[in-house]
Amino acid sequence: MRTLLSIVAVTFLFNAAAPSANAQVSHAAPQSVLDSAVQDHVTTEATDRDAVQRLLERPEVQSLAKDFGLDLRQAKSAVSTLDAEQLAAAAAQARQAEQGLAGGQSSITVSTTLIIIGLLVLILIVVIA
């Protein structure tokens, strides 16, 4: 009797400790959702890098960087080292500067100049750090 009681107790403990099949609900996202999220992230980063590189290629920016003694080659190569947060901030500034330069404006306004200089300094600080 004692052996039977021990077997029943051990069986009960194993059943209570083991997770039931019904309780095992998958909380992970499907692979297609994960793949889509990764692709969206990669696309966003590529678009942001293109925005910064496009601004750095503009003749107005090159002239401004030269006037302030900033090395654009170093800034251009540093764009690929920016993390996602830094890149998003730099891309936002680059897009804002491009809007200021849009429409074939021949002169750069003070706000656009400050945005460009801030962007270049941000990129160079990231390179140094």
Q: What is the residue-averaged pLDDT of the chain? A: 77
Q: Is the pLDDT of residue 60 over 60?
A: yes
Q: pLDDT: is 35 or 121 the higher one? A: 35
Paired tokens of 48: 């942001």
**Confidence band, pLDDT 50/70/90 cuts, at residue 109:** low
Long-range contacts formed by 26-31: CB under 8 A, 24+ apart: none
3-state secondary structure at position 71: coil
The mean pLDDT value for 62-80 works out to 85
Residue located via tokens 């059943």? 15
Inter-helix orientation angle 110-128/59-67, to 10°: 70
Q: Is 20 left (phi over 0), alpha (psi -120 to 50) or beta?
A: beta
Report pLDDT digits (tens) over 5-43: 556 555 665 666 666 555 555 667 788 888 888 898 889
